[in-house]
Structure 1
Amino acid sequence: MSRLDRLKMGKVETKHFQQFNQLLRYVFQVTKKDLQMVGWEEREIALAKKPVLDQADVLGWFDGEKLVSQLAVYPFKVNIFGRTVEMGGLTGVGTYPEYANMGLMYKLMRQALADMQQRKQSISYLFPYSIPYYRRRGWEIISDKMTFEVKDVQLPKRKKVPGYVERLSIEHPDVITVYQLFSSKMHAAMIRNELAWDEYWRWDVDELTAAVYYDGTHQPLGYLLYWISEDVLHIKEIIYINQEARIGLWNFIGAHFSMVSKVVGNIFMNEPLSFWLEDADIKETISPYFMARIVDAEQFISQYPFRATGTDIELTFRLDDPMLEWNQGIFTLHVSPEGQGELLQSKDQPAFSIDIQTLTTMLLSYKRPTYLVAISRLNSDQKSVDILEKVINMQTPYFSDYF
């Protein structure tokens, strides 16, 4: 019997936890020294990863009793233009090298996507360790991460605001309240349940602190998550509901002028900080962050809020998917005057062709139809492009989580 014939696909359960953890550690080359540098001990990482097996859908290949390949899917929700959509968060992907190039991960992903379809998780997100690898399997970039570095002398001068900032524990209820309000307005953002919050905090340093901005009526309108190390103020995330909160939080950052040499941090939207600062000569770096793929195009379109145009819209196109046969073929998109979409298989002549990767990034408004045509990712006539531009909402995707 060949090695391939010995392999069986199955559920990875809590009894397999030790093997699950060992495979993750091997694939991502996490050493004891790495863990010690961030203050983690063996027992802590074991406890940290146990929720994956408890709450996620984990699949693997077994060679007898040995776990040799695996992936996990978290049950999450995201905000798509104001509508909450079930999302399958793909993580924990790995195969031992001696079992590579046997098609194991392809089959695991195919099964995981089929399971997502059954659970009505019409879209999947992941953090890519290799963008080309996941692109070939139907995922595409949908969000950016901007890192910035501001010297102490470049910090903005204090501006008067009616509110104030309080330093609180990161677990304070007002931190959750602010994020819930923020994520309800931010397209593509995670709607954080307890599991999502646990993942969000999982690898943070112990010194992480929350600074919450309150307006004049004591309503929390923004927060800053930060720590200070070796004369540097590090910002994990800064969010605000309005410009008053933004100014108030930067007043707080600026108050560290005599304590730190610089401020470094992250922004998860296409909003260059340099334009807002008086001294704009700062260091900024933009890089792709998360990827997504539509799991079931018909399901997703039925949930997706198109822009209401007051007229009926109909477009027929050819869709291609490198993994899923239910996303392959000719489809007709119907959009009602109110913006309700419906996607049905069709025998009509397609006006354009598109793959699932491009459809995903286009519908999430990371890249617009006109741009996708210009770079030959969308093969379409101008009339169809004009219609797509008209019915697809325009808002930069925001995603600051990691799992």
Structure 2
Amino acid sequence: MRILHKQQHLPPLDGPRLEPHPFRAAGMPPDKSNGAPLVPVNRREHGLEARRTDMAADQRGEGAAVNTEHKDGDRQPPHGAHDAFDFRQLGKEDFEQFEALLRYAFQVSSSEMARIGWSDREMKLSKKPIFEASHVMGWFYKGRLASQVVIYPMEVNVQGEICKMGGITGVATYPEYTGRGLIHSLLAKSLEYMRDQQQIISYLCPYSIPLYRKHGWEIVSDKMTFAIKDTQLPARHPVEGQIERVDIESEDLHKVYKYFALQEHGALIRGALEWEEYWRWDSDDVMAAVYYSVDRKPLGYVIYYIENEVFSIKEMVYLNQEAKYGIWNYISAHFSMITKVEGANYTGEAMAFQLEDSEIDETIQPYGMARIVDVQRFMEFYPFQFSDPRLTLDFEVKDPIAPWNNGIFHVSWQDGEAVCEQVATCHSGHRIALDIQTLTTMLMGYKRPTYLYNNDRIDMDYHLLKTLEALIPPDKPYFSDYF
């Protein structure tokens, strides 16, 4: 019985739709030769043994967060090291301690708050709605909060289907309590909680990629930054619609993102609190402009500010090419005011190819991380690109801190739906061995099966790559939020 509802059960949208991407076509079914190798049979098969040995060594000395999560020192404690600590969920009476630990750990200074126009009291009040909406767990030492983790209930688009997601944030420990494995235990407990809540995937914005990799999270999205000289701006394209500057709380801006997120893989579904977090660290100078079609449908937006002759783009979203052209026309109209355009791009694809003058500066850095919380549920939820009742696969998964994900998951297809069951031994003849990090980044589309195989992240027969490539949709995740 399906536990999570797919998008087709949601009310139909009555707004504009994204135009189909020219290269996003459904994958072809597996080769009829049913396993004929695509390369000479003497090709070296890849294995995970060296990687597993390294992981085992890491786990024996598991790191956890200190202060802003990027220090090494919170080692897995010996037996009885937690005896002086009490674990519990934080209540409203603990908010002052919660906010104080956040301020200390993430070094939110008064000067930084002044830059964005916040008072100390306003900062406290801004965090209260998130605190009240989230599940916050912590370790207390003699009644004082020592370490904490926040699980924020959210929803995300996974390959066109909307699912529950647990957002991990506010992970922090006072430095005097490091070396006791507090963060390690909190992350393990957070996975248990998310599993109980049927939050089958978890996102976070990492301060330390190595720390979270050790606990099963993996990179799933990139943030690309670009710089375009005023002389490199794209040529004007005539459009029928009109762009208008709007308030950042504009309902039309929210509508554009809603339609975009419901159709864009990886995107966070933003409610009122998510929008509040989205604007959290922006100054009062940030502006927004919405592109409207000739019949006044909002089709795109750009969020930006102008400073020192630089047009800085926080986010650009469009639902079709008309809106894209209209937004760039608007940016180019600032030609006399600016010397360059800088911005962020979260699509996973570089911008240079789209410009007539492609010699622009672009950088790429990993941005969002994710991990599958419950492999069995996620496999049954996941929208594979085709179903074949003759096909069966055995995923042998390793998970460092979620024991229910350790084992062999037998996947088959019945009546067009994936069926996943945990079994004792592989019996399909199609074994795919990988860790939870690799399974996550592969199914989320950040890295393709062939790339992962060629980099020793998957252990399997080479001929299965063609099947996996066809099963997994090609879209890369879009994730532009921070929490």
Q: TM-score, normalised by structure 2?
A: 0.81
Q: 2:180 aligns with which of 98, 102, 109?
A: 102
The within-5 A match list for 1:163-312 is 163-312=241-390
- Partner Cα separation in structure 2 for residue 90 and residue 313 of structure 1: 36
The answer as to 2:428 corresponding to 1:351 is no
Task: Please report how far the alpha carbon of residue 82 of structure 1 lies from its aligned counterpart in structure 2 after TM superposition.
Answer: 1.1
Partner residue in 2 for 1:112: 190
Q: Distance in 2 between matches of 1:129 and 1:63?
A: 25
State the distance in 2 between where 1:133 and 1:15 align: 30
* Matched letter for residue 443 of structure 2: L
Aligned to 1:374, which of 446, 451, 454? Answer: 454
User: Does structure 1 residue 388 correspond to structure 2 residue 471?
Assistant: no
Contact 1:222 1:245 (8 Å CA) reproduced:
yes
Instruction: Measure how far apart 1:290 and its partner are.
Output: 0.2
Cα distance, 1:46 vs structure 2: 0.7
Q: Out of 392, 399, 403, which is 1:321 matched to?
A: 399
| More off after superposition, 150-159 vs 319-328 | 150-159
Query: Cα gap change, 1:19/1:3 in structure 2, threshold over 3 Å: closer, same or farther?
Result: farther
Question: 2:171 is matched with which residue?
Answer: 93
- CA contact 2:81–2:180 (8 Å) conserved in 1: no
* C-alpha contact 2:116 2:284 (8 A) present in aligned 1: no
Following the alignment from structure 1 to structure 2, what is the Cα–Cα distance between the partners of residues 146 and 87?
24
1:296-324 Cα deviation digits (max 9, x unpaired): 00111121111124544211131100001
Kindly provide the amino acid, as one letter, of the partner of residue 292 in structure 1.
A
Task: Give the drift of 1:115.
Answer: 0.6
Amino acid paired to 2:444? L
Distance of 1:114 and 1:310 partners within structure 2? 33
Contact kept, 8 Å, 2:286 with 2:303, in 1: the verdict is yes
Going from structure 1 to structure 2, the CA distance change for 1:3 and 1:134 (only over 3 Å counts) comes to: closer
Which whole-Å CA distance do the structure 2 matches of 1:98 and 1:315 have between them?
48
Match of 1:66 among 113, 130, 144: 144
**Higher mean displacement: 349-358 or 104-113:** 349-358
Displacement of 1:66 in angstroms is: 0.4
SS at match of 2:445: coil
Q: CA deviation at 1:331?
A: 1.7
Structure with greater proportional strand content = 1
Equivalent residues of 2:388, 2:413 under 8 A apart: no
State which of 122, 132, 135 in structure 2 corresponds to 1:57: 135
> Residues 13 and 53 of structure 1 are in contact (CA less than 8 Å); yes or no, is this contact kept in structure 2?
no
Contact 1:12 1:53 in 2 (8 A): no
Identity of aligned residues (%): 47
Aligned amino acid, residue 423 of structure 2 = S
Closer/same/farther in 2, CA of residues 354 and 3 from structure 1, 3 Å limit: closer
Distance in 2 separating the partners of 1:139 and 1:332: 23
Please state whether the residue corresponding to 1:40 is helix, strand or coil.
coil
Q: Verify the 8 A CA contact 1:319 1:329 in the aligned structure 2.
A: yes
Q: Confirm or deny: 8 A CA contact 1:313 1:336 kept in the other structure.
A: no
What is the SS of the residue equivalent to 1:5?
coil
Aligned-residue CA RMSD in angstroms?
1.4
Mapped contact 2:222–2:364 kept (Cα < 8 A): yes
Matched residues in 2 for 1:39 and 1:264: separation?
24
Amino acid at match of 1:378: I
1:35-90 superposed Cα distances (whole Å, 9 cap, x missing partner): 22232221121111112221000000101220010010111000111110000000
1:155 and 1:393 mapped to 2: Cα distance? 33
Aligned-pair CA distance for 1:3: 7.2
Query: In structure 2, what is the Cα distance between the partners aligned to 1:274 and 1:392?
Result: 27
Asked if the contact 1:149–1:263 (Cα under 8 Å) also holds between the matched residues in 2, the reply is yes
Measured in 2, the distance between the counterparts of 1:13 and 1:262 equals 49
Shift of 1:385: 2.1
For structure 1, list consecutive stretches of 5 or more residues without a partner in the other structure: none
Q: SS where residue 265 of structure 1 aligns?
A: strand
Hey, what's the Cα distance between the residues in 2 that align with 1:199 and 1:34?
16
User: Would the aligned equivalents of 2:236 and 2:329 in 1 still touch at CA under 8 Å?
Assistant: yes
Tell me which moved more, 358-367 or 278-287: 278-287
CA distance in 1, matches of 2:278, 2:285: 15
Cα distance in 1 for partners of 2:155, 2:461 equals 35
For 1:335 and 1:148, the matched residues in 2 are separated by 43
Q: Deviations over 1:171-230 (max 9, x none)?
A: 111101111111111101011122211211221111222111111221111000111122
Range 211-220 or range 82-91, more displaced = 211-220
Any conservation in 1 of the 2:411–2:420 contact (CA below 8 Å)?
yes
Residues of 2 paired with 1:323 and 1:190: CA distance?
Answer: 25
Aligned AA (1:216)? V
Amino acid at match of 2:239: V
Compare relative contact order (CA 8 Å, sep 6+) and give the higher one, 1 or 2. 2
